[in-house]
């Protein structure tokens, strides 16, 4: 069965078959060749049960909130404000790229939306001021990955749904590693620009008056983050209700920004429908594949195989991490999650690892997949904003930030409390 899955996934994806269709075809293949009873008889019931979840409503709501924030121009103003506060550091706008990405991540929940927004705003500025194209593009692509780690994260919602893990716990677990990763990105930029100042462009020291005046442009995103995350952890709202509150708040912010009109709203709704449909279709397909794998005894087979090799828990974890790294080169991030979660998560939990902690580790390596060719989505998002330039520049520019991600992964493995301290503290 393992050979069937491996060959099937690679063959279908390389043939250009959509991810959701690939997952359904794999499930039908397992039903046909490896199951003792007809699994397709339960297809309707399984899809209905998967779709009939209050939690899934949060996904289109968070997507809509991000669309509104982008189209209202709020993210652009936040970038200008970060420029005023951070451009005096060696690296200048590189730090603004990363911090704006972190701040926007806390409202959009999407790496693609984050990378696309910051690229549009930052690239013309970086080119005009003479920043090194490689490092500048790399900082945007890497900063965009923060969108799936810093809450509210759509990918964390998907992980929580598929593994039946508390979404609030996952959100809190992702906050410290997410901010820590942003700090590591800034440190990497700082060290490189201290070593070679030409990489960072000219220093720009804004007056304190200008800095303080710019805070009003950061306030909307901070308010939105506090409204969403605060309402969840104070027990005032579920993640789904918090997403609805976030949409209402984002509409209010767009109105205050004088950018709320019918055209903008229709564009935001159109983008939301396209993105949400793709995500939810993949989730339904993943749900049926999970059912097929469980019914055919896949997990038991894997457990027996690992027991035969007598792997220690740490060795198992390293094997799973190596699997994520390799698959991340070839498989899109959400697809990587829904394909691997039903296989590896039961094994990891059985080995004694915390399910919340493993969710954060998985997301970190999913982030890595976003900036590793040939399928690294953020690489193409950044490149799309700089047509006519060498694609290799974007790839080379991400290398220091890939190293920073690996450092954070090592820290998470060595010190699980980095992820678990905050949710454990708040639950007491």
The string of pLDDT tens digits covering residues 400-409 is 999 999 999 9
Contact 179, 394 (CB under 8 A): no
* % residues pLDDT > 70 (the chain): 90
Cα(24)–Cα(17) distance, integer angstroms = 11
pLDDT one-digit tens code per residue, 294-317: 677 665 666 666 666 777 888 889
Q: How far is CA 383 from CA 79, 89, 123, 150, 198, in A?
A: 19, 26, 10, 24, 22
Cα(396)–Cα(135) distance, integer angstroms = 8
What count of residues does the chain have? Answer: 428
Burial of 208 (0-12, 13-18, 19+ CB in 10 A): exposed
- pTM of the predicted model as reported, rounded to 2 decimal places: 0.78
Cα(237)–Cα(351) distance, integer angstroms = 34
Pick the more confident residue, 16 or 161.
Answer: 161
Contact 162, 290 (CB under 8 A): yes
pLDDT of amino acid 366: 87
Cα(255)–Cα(144) distance, integer angstroms = 26
**Confidence band of 167 (pLDDT split at 50, 70, 90):** confident
**Does position 51 have pLDDT exceeding 70, yes or no?**
yes
Q: Is 78 helix (H, G, I), strand (E, B) or coil?
A: helix
The token duo for 357 is 């902690």
pLDDT one-digit tens code per residue, 91-130: 888 888 888 888 877 776 667 767 777 777 788 778 877 7
Cα(99)–Cα(114) distance, integer angstroms = 11
pLDDT of amino acid 357: 95
**Does position 150 have pLDDT exceeding 90, yes or no?**
no
Q: CA angle, 318 as apex, 140 and 366 as ends, to 5°?
A: 25
pLDDT of amino acid 302: 63
Q: How far is CA 353 from CA 172, 212, 312, 392, in A?
A: 18, 45, 12, 38
**Confidence band of 16 (pLDDT split at 50, 70, 90):** low
pLDDT of amino acid 185: 93
Can you list the alpha helix ranges (DSSP code H) found in 207-297?
Answer: 208-233, 239-256, 262-296
Dihedral pair phi/psi, residue 15, rounded to 5°? -80, -5
pLDDT one-digit tens code per residue, 321-350: 888 888 787 676 777 887 788 778 888 888
Q: CA angle, 254 as apex, 95 and 146 as ends, to 5°?
A: 30
pLDDT of amino acid 71: 80
pLDDT one-digit tens code per residue, 267-304: 888 888 887 787 778 778 777 777 777 677 665 666 66
Can you list the alpha helix ranges (DSSP code H) found in 297-398?
Answer: 298-309, 313-328, 333-350, 355-370, 377-384, 391-397
Cα(239)–Cα(57) distance, integer angstroms = 9
Task: Determine the average pLDDT of the residues in 53-71.
Answer: 79
pLDDT of amino acid 299: 59
| Average confidence score pLDDT of the chain | 81
């Amino acid at each position: 069965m393992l050979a069937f899955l491996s060959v099937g996934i690679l063959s279908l994806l390389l043939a250009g078959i959509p991810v959701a269709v690939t997952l359904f075809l794999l499930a039908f293949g397992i039903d046909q060749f490896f199951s003792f009873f007809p699994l397709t008889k339960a297809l309707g019931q399984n899809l209905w049960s998967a779709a009939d979840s209050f939690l899934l409503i949060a996904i289109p709501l968070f997507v809509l909130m991000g669309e509104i924030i982008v189209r209202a121009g709020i993210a652009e103003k936040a970038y200008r404000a970060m420029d005023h506060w951070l451009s005096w550091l060696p690296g200048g706008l590189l730090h603004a790229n990363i911090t704006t990405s972190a701040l926007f991540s806390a409202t959009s929940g999407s790496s693609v939306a984050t990378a696309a927004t910051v690229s549009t705003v930052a690239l013309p500025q970086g080119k005009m001021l003479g920043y090194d194209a490689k490092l500048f593009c790399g900082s945007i692509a890497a900063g965009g990955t923060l969108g799936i780690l810093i809450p509210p994260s759509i990918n964390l919602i998907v992980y929580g749904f598929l593994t039946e893990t508390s979404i609030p716990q996952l959100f809190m677990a992702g906050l410290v590693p997410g901010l820590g990763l942003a700090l590591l990105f800034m440190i990497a930029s700082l060290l490189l620009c201290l070593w070679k100042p030409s990489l960072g462009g000219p220093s720009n020291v804004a007056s304190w008056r200008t800095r303080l005046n710019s805070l009003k442009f950061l306030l909307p995103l901070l308010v939105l983050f506090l409204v969403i995350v605060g309402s969840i952890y104070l027990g005032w709202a579920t993640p789904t209700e918090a997403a609805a509150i976030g949409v209402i708040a984002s509409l209010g912010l767009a109105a205050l920004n004088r950018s709320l009109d019918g055209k903008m709203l229709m564009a935001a709704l159109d983008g939301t429908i396209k993105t949400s449909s793709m995500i939810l279709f993949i989730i339904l397909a993943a749900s049926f594949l999970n059912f097929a794998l469980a019914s055919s005894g896949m997990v038991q087979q894997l457990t027996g195989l690992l027991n035969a090799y007598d792997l220690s828990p740490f060795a198992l974890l390293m094997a799973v991490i190596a699997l994520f790294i390799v698959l991340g080169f070839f498989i899109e991030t959400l697809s990587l999650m829904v394909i691997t979660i039903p296989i590896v998560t039961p094994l990891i939990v059985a080995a004694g690892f915390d399910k919340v902690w493993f969710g954060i580790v998985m997301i970190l390596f999913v982030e890595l997949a976003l900036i590793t060719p040939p399928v690294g989505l953020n690489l193409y998002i950044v490149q799309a904003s700089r047509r006519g330039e060498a694609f290799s520049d974007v790839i080379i520019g991400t290398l220091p930030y890939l190293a920073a991600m690996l450092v954070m992964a090592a820290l998470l493995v060595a010190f699980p409390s980095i992820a678990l301290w905050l949710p454990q503290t708040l639950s007491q």
